[in-house]
A and B are shown apart, each in its own frame.
Chain A
């Protein structure tokens, strides 16, 4: 298993500002993912954070808006830039741990509940 520490757990921010969310894992992991969960919705993948290279973004998400860092195998940050009320969501980091040769299990951080006013 993996223990993920994500912070802050919640924040209220002014529009136009930026917030950086941190994700720390208690073991080295290859794959880290950042998801967004808007109110009443499911989880949508923002990007895959790769150690040693640029993050891979999903359609509809861009690096200028959601810059990601992955300096080592245990840590990643997601920045929500130039925030607007539409960015109000829960942001979750996730890591994958090998269950066996064929499968992995995804573990989630506690989430960051962001409100933009």
Chain B
């Protein structure tokens, strides 16, 4: 079992819809969870991080964490064509360790 798993997609949604991106992780002791967006040919950029169970909202983005189910998700409301990118889920086991990345989900928002 991979440490961080994501559906590779592509996930296609129409403009204005809600995009739901999912991620599961294998290490129950993982402490912090991150969502990065990566445009083709560019470096990853941080969208959100979460480390407590529940929801965390930032603008159009909501991260959801369920440690019991070892599941973290990212919701993008009012999706825009500019949101079309690969979304990487990353997990940190503990302070001082590197991030472990999933393979990423490709999102395509059509206008």
Interface assignment of B110: CB less than 8 Å from any CB of chain A:
no
Complex Cα–Cα for A33 and B32 (A): 17
- Which A-chain residue is minimally distant from B45 (CB atoms)? A108
Interface of chain B, main secondary structure: loop
A-B contact count (CB 8 A): 52
**Size category of the binding interface on chain B:** 20 to 34
Residues of B within 8 A of A105 (CB): 34, 46, 49
- Which A-chain residue is minimally distant from B89 (CB atoms)? A42
Interface assignment of A18: CB less than 8 Å from any CB of chain B:
no
Is B32 in contact with A42, judged by CB distance below 8 angstroms? no
Contact status of A106 and B99, CB under 8 A, knowing A42-B88, A92-B43: yes
Is A106 in contact with B46, judged by CB distance below 8 angstroms? yes
Is B46 in contact with A41, judged by CB distance below 8 angstroms? no
Complex Cα–Cα for A42 and B100 (A): 10
Interface assignment of B103: CB less than 8 Å from any CB of chain A:
yes
Contact status of A45 and B98, CB under 8 A, knowing A92-B43, A103-B32, A106-B46: yes
Interface of chain A, main secondary structure: strand
Chain A contacts with B in 73-103, Cβ cutoff 8 A: 92, 94, 99, 102-103
- Which A-chain residue is minimally distant from B41 (CB atoms)? A113
Interface assignment of A3: CB less than 8 Å from any CB of chain B:
no
Question: Chain B, 73-111, contact with A by CB distance < 8 Å: what is the 0/1 string?
Answer: 000000000000000101010011011111110000000
Interface assignment of B51: CB less than 8 Å from any CB of chain A:
yes
A73 to chain B, nearest CB (A): 15
With A108-B44, A110-B42, A113-B41 given, name 17 new contacts (CB 8 A). A31-B96, A42-B88, A42-B101, A42-B102, A42-B103, A43-B101, A44-B101, A45-B98, A45-B99, A92-B44, A94-B98, A102-B32, A102-B51, A102-B95, A104-B32, A105-B46, A106-B99
Residues on A close to B: CB < 8 A? 31, 33, 41-45, 48, 92, 94, 99, 102-111, 113
Q: Mind listing 17 A-B residue pairs with CB under 8 Å?
A: A31-B96, A41-B103, A42-B102, A42-B104, A43-B88, A45-B98, A45-B99, A94-B99, A102-B31, A103-B32, A103-B51, A105-B49, A106-B46, A108-B43, A109-B43, A110-B42, A113-B41
